[in-house]
Amino acid sequence: MIPTDERDPPIEYRQLGRTGVTVSRIALGCGGFGGIGSAPELFGRGESDQEAFAIMDAAWEMGITLFDTAASYGGGRSEMAIGKWLRAKGRAVRERAVLATKVFHSVRGDPADRGLSRPRIQREIDGSLARLGVEQVPLYMIHEPDPDTPLEETLGALEELVRAGKAGAIGACNIEGWRLEQALAISAERGLARFDWVQNSCSLLDRAAEVDVLPVCAREGLGFTPFSPLAGGWLTGKYTRDGVRPPGSRMTLRPEWYRAYENERTFSALEAFAAAARGRGVDRATLALAWLLSHPQVTSIIIGPRRPEHIESARSALDVRLSANERDEIAALFG
């Protein structure tokens, strides 16, 4: 599953938990292809197919093998863009690429069409496979827990997908530690496929995962693939006290996720962080990603570049080696 050629050495790879799947330490988040995540009001407003192809080309050229998407991203447009790109690249790339997709939100943007019931999971996997143009998705995730469906039903449905060969391994996104423990116990008791990795938000500005899910991951041997490693662009220096927000940025399209950062404490911490990055001769994005990559439990980080050149910070981050003390010093800047 690892691209091989005679150019620069690949970017680094690790096994994802106990899945048996090897993934690149940098993963390409495809939530901006054809939309901005799962928000129906933004379907069609993300990267065009042409722009998405350029981003995927740059990622593959760098050695990225893990492509992360969801059925609902862009109302199915993200999966379709990946499927078109894979068909254009041919069999060799299709066989090495590791696809991860998710189920929960509506592909049509219908607020009533959501959840993790058995019939819905069975329907949604077929749609994802068709859009991606594959017979099996190596990594399949719940996009978030469904409080209206018993975990036993959801895990049983996911077990059926694994047995049918439609999904290789299963994981959980946006899950709480207590619910993760509960799901793992059910899988063990009933002999069902278990969540073998977790994908939650984690960054220097959002460290809840370190307290909540990472202790469970460590104890159970689960992989961890954090999303939003740059906190929606806040750790790049994109947002300042003047309140001016770049057009097309997360703070103009989906600001509700990040309004908690709009305070003096955050801006002061970001200034100190900028100085720390300058002292190491790197940009802020590179240092923020390096900090996350240096965590011993992080398998792969999911980046969401809007242009091909944005990927370079992630590649550079792999060359920044931080000791445990340095990690703590950087984290202390944010309190």
Give the active site residues: 73
Give the separation between CA 223 and CA 173, rounded to whole angstroms: 12
How far is the CA of 2 from the CAs of 12, 30, 94, in angstroms?
9, 19, 12
Burial (CB count within 10 angstroms: exposed 0-12, middle 13-18, buried 19+), residue 326: middle
